[in-house]
Amino acid sequence: MNRIKEVLEEKGIKQIWLAEQLGKSYNMVNSYVQNRRQPSIECLYEIAEILKISAKELLVENE
């Protein structure tokens, strides 16, 4: 599970903008945001860099 949706909302960033920055389709980013699909580790780090946060902040620990 990831927190991409929460971070985007906190920062007021649209999914389409993130998709453009990543060079991925809106549908792919939307599947990450909805937790239907998890990004690769490399992509997770790229998302974190774009959002100017640590990759660890994008992850949700299993309880």
Two structure tokens written together for 38: 């998890």
CATH of domain 4-56: 1.10.260.40
Distance CA 38, CA 32 (A): 6
Yes or no: say if 26 and 55 are a contact pair by the CB < 8 Å rule: no
Q: Residues 6-27: pLDDT tens digits?
A: 999 999 999 999 999 999 999 9
Distance CA 36, CA 57 (A): 19
Domain boundaries, the chain: 4-56
Q: Identify the band that residue 62 occupies on the pLDDT scale cut at 50, 70 and 90.
A: low
Distance CA(57)–CA(16), nearest Å, equals: 21
Q: What is the pLDDT of residues 29-53, one digit of tens each?
A: 999 999 999 999 999 999 999 999 9
Q: What is the pLDDT of residue 53?
A: 96
